[in-house]
């Protein structure tokens, strides 16, 4: 985050590739096993670590790799929003097809990680991060909640923030946008959308 425009060897904007497309493709590869491993009342779970940074985000459908107008903060927000939207859409697909797989997107809180390494904030006020930001261990609690809490078993597609159901931006809730992102993501990673998550 907070870097210059960079593309992967595959030609994807780096933050989109790392925070969304990689997770999306990994989910595709794992779904056959997750479908077999889940059971009613004990669904297999897919947990994406997103961020409250998705709030100001939107998906730039016409320029998803942000080649025309790159802004590092907007790129990060887009990638984190894409994680949330994909979790919701894939969860919907699993429910409609009757598979015992639930998908969640988790904001772990503001955690003192390398994410802020190249920011002026960390250079100017490193002590503030120690005081106000969570340690990585404390940040992991919300992720573990999404993985194991029985109370959310029937609530797939949730956005979880600090171990409770969070409020996500309105863009993330629009089914037509979720489907459009799913279609574009399948195209970008080379998956026929009707074969997503199939062996």
pLDDT on residue 124: 63
Q: Phi and psi for 161 in degrees, rounded to 5?
A: -130, 120
Distance CA 60, CA 110 (A): 25
Helices (H), 133-174: 136-148
On whether residue 4 sits in a domain, the answer given is no
pLDDT on residue 77: 94
Predicted model pTM: 0.87
On whether residue 67 sits in a domain, the answer given is yes
102, containing H or E segment: strand 101-107
pLDDT on residue 16: 97
pLDDT on residue 189: 97
Cα-Cα-Cα-Cα dihedral sign, residues 170, 108, 117, 123 = positive
**Active site annotation includes 76:** yes
Q: pLDDT averaged over consecutive 10-residue blocks of the chain (199 residues)?
A: 82 95 98 96 95 89 95 94 98 97 87 57 60 66 90 94 91 97 98 90
pLDDT on residue 175: 98
pLDDT on residue 95: 97
On whether residue 8 sits in a domain, the answer given is no
Residue range(s) defining the domain that contains residue 155: 14-195
pLDDT on residue 113: 57
Determine which one of 76, 89, 177, 182 is catalytic: 76
Total tally of structural domains belonging to the chain: 1
On whether residue 40 sits in a domain, the answer given is yes
On whether residue 90 sits in a domain, the answer given is yes
For residue 104, the domain's CATH number is 3.40.50.720
CB distance 58 to 81 below 8 Å: yes
On whether residue 85 sits in a domain, the answer given is yes
CB distance 123 to 114 below 8 Å: no
pLDDT on residue 120: 62
On whether residue 9 sits in a domain, the answer given is no
């Amino acid at each position: 985050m907070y870097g210059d425009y960079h593309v992967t060897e595959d030609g994807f904007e780096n933050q989109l590739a790392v925070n969304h497309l990689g997770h999306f493709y990994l989910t595709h590869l794992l779904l056959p096993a997750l479908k077999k491993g889940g059971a009613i009342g004990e669904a297999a779970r897919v947990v994406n670590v997103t961020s409250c940074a998705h709030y100001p985000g939107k998906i730039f459908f016409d320029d998803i790799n942000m080649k025309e107008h790159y802004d590092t903060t907007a790129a990060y927000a887009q990638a984190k929003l894409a994680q949330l939207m994909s979790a919701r859409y894939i969860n919907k697909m699993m429910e409609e097809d009757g598979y015992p797989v639930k998908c969640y997107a988790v904001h772990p809180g503001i955690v003192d990680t390398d994410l802020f390494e190249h920011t002026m904030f960390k250079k100017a006020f490193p002590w503030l991060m120690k005081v106000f930001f969570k340690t990585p261990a404390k940040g992991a609690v919300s992720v573990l909640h999404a993985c194991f809490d029985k109370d959310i078993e029937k609530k797939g597609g949730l956005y979880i923030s600090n171990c409770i159901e969070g409020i996500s931006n309105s863009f993330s809730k629009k089914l037509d946008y979720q489907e459009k992102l799913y279609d574009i993501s399948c195209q970008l990673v080379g998956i026929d959308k009707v074969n997503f998550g199939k062996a």
